[in-house]
């Protein structure tokens, strides 16, 4: 199956070279799509130069930084339109080990609609995270799973692969979240549409170069989003019951 690795970037000049080379070494036939939100540090130019050198690397240039969700929606749309059958989401900060890519892609090839590289299944872990961030992430996932009824351990995971057919079926372009809540909303939509999810353990390494994009507003958006999804689901079920009666 044709696979595209979608990588959103903003000021990742310190990481993009190593990332592209390691991805190319592990999955030489996969396409790498760098979605750059107008990085002033030259990330997009460097990615294009790597494309000329290594092949199978393209850059989608966007004029401004307006959220992870918008970058992924644009990147996934481009990947599908260019013929991808498997779409991988991967961070540019080297926190995701490229050696996991064959497993992510292979799970989708073997029938999963979504394969998640999970930190919170047996064998999964986070490395070099402060205790507060680890606790916030774990409890955030428990909150999302509990409120939305998701049998998923790591709904906020950013390292994942989708079947392109499943993305189209769940109407991914209607996802509204912009920050890390995007991953929760995507997971929720896929599960709600009857998609099959597989989780397997990964070791998540915190970035060593560049600046983290995490912020209080991103966390708040995710928390509010979960409740909004629950409310929408609640009223949707009530409406369907009333119509059925």
Please answer whether residues 28 and 55 qualify as being in contact, where contact means their C-beta atoms are separated by less than 8 angstroms: no
d(CA 8, CA 96): 13
Number of structural domains the chain divides into:
1
**pTM of the entire predicted model:** 0.85
**Which domain covers residue 49, as residue numbers?**
3-244
Task: Find the CATH number of the domain harbouring 151.
Answer: 3.90.550.10
**pLDDT tens per residue, the chain (245 residues)?**
999 999 999 999 999 999 999 999 999 999 999 999 999 999 999 999 999 999 999 999 998 888 899 999 999 999 999 999 999 999 999 999 999 999 999 999 999 999 999 999 999 998 888 887 787 788 788 888 888 888 999 999 999 999 999 999 999 999 988 877 899 999 999 999 999 999 999 999 875 554 554 445 656 666 677 767 756 765 555 555 666 65
């Amino acid at each position: 199956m044709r696979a595209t690795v979608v990588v959103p970037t903003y000021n990742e000049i310190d990481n993009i070279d190593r990332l592209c080379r390691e991805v190319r070494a592990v999955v030489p036939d996969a396409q790498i799509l760098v979605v750059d939100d107008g990085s002033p540090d030259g990330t997009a130019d460097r990615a294009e130069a790597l494309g000329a050198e290594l092949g199978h690397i393209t850059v989608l240039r966007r004029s401004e930084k307006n959220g992870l969700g918008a970058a992924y929606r644009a990147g996934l749309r481009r990947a599908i339109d260019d013929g991808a059958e498997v779409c991988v989401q991967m961070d540019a900060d080297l926190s995701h080990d490229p050696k996991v890519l064959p497993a992510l892609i292979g799970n989708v090839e073997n029938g999963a609609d979504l394969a998640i590289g999970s930190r919170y299944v047996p064998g999964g872990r986070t490395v070099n995270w402060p205790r507060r961030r680890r606790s916030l992430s774990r409890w955030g996932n428990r909150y999302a799973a509990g409120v939305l009824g998701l049998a998923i351990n790591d709904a906020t995971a950013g390292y994942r692969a989708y079947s392109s057919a499943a993305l189209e079926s769940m109407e991914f372009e209607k996802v509204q979240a912009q920050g890390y809540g995007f991953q929760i909303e995507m997971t929720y939509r896929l599960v709600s549409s009857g998609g099959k999810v597989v989780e397997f353990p990964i070791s998540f390494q915190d970035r060593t170069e560049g600046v983290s994009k995490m912020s209080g507003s991103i966390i708040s958006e995710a928390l509010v989003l979960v409740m909004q999804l629950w409310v929408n689901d609640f009223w949707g079920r009530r409406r369907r019951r009333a119509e059925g009666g």
